[in-house]
Structure 1
């Protein structure tokens, strides 16, 4: 392996580690990241016959020097096997907003019933290299309905 390939692989691994929210961020109540930064997950998600999943909730944030996103992921049965479900650009004006993320999965991967959603309100701050800053996160048990 050439030196530039090794460096690129190492840089990619560091970015993955930096992008993952900490266990502490996920265990905090949605509003504890700051007095006005919150993200919530609705108790019900939608599952279409073609495998399309729709998740939703609310968020509130202020400030932000870079773009802010609401990301979500879904797991069912195997908590260590998650599927990212879309991403929404957030408006950080201090008001509460709705978010909805939709993504198509392979048919049959998810079934109606109990599932777990992780939603994260994350900003990409840049001082050369964009780095993630987590405003809020919530993990919630939901029900997928057809």
Structure 2
């Protein structure tokens, strides 16, 4: 399987961004961009954690890529996953992000916090130059474990 340099750079940037703290307030919108996260997450039989929600964005920069990033936080354990590239056509779209509990085995059924961010990644060549948070939603959620 061949992976493009831009896709690899986005994956690396997503991993770095997971450790970063962004300062956009909950439910923030910028220039008619918005995102929401559903009040629940699921851990499936195969050990995947799934978060979902909806987003809307318009007019992304031609020098960047817009992505959805979601994080679940429970008792100090943090799992951040990317939901992929966003389609910024002004319409409302569903998103779904899935990550593995293999790297965060302490996630379990119960209360947690979820944060979804709509981010624009700006590039300089193949390397990410900066990340702008266009919209963010955070809320208390319930995690359901189906294992």
User: TM-score scaled by structure 1?
Assistant: 0.75
Cα distance in 2, alignment partners of residues 138 and 123 from structure 1: 16
2:37 aligned counterpart, secondary structure: coil
1:117 maps onto 2:114 in alignment: yes
In structure 2, the partner of 1:134 is 133
CA positional deviation for 1:87: 2.8
In structure 2, the partner of 1:145 is 144
In structure 1, the partner of 2:79 is 83
Tell me which protein shows more helix as a share of its residues. Answer: 1
In structure 1, the partner of 2:53 is 57
In structure 2, the partner of 1:47 is 43
Cα distance in 1, alignment partners of residues 96 and 116 from structure 2: 11
Runs of 5+ consecutive residues of structure 1 not aligned to the other structure: 1-14
Cα distance in 2, alignment partners of residues 57 and 47 from structure 1: 16
How many residue pairs match? The answer is 124
Q: 1:67 to 1:35 in 2, by over 3 A?
A: closer
Larger C-alpha radius of gyration, 1 or 2?
1
User: TM-score scaled by structure 2?
Assistant: 0.74
RMSD, matched Cα:
2.2
Tell me which protein shows more strand as a share of its residues. Answer: 2
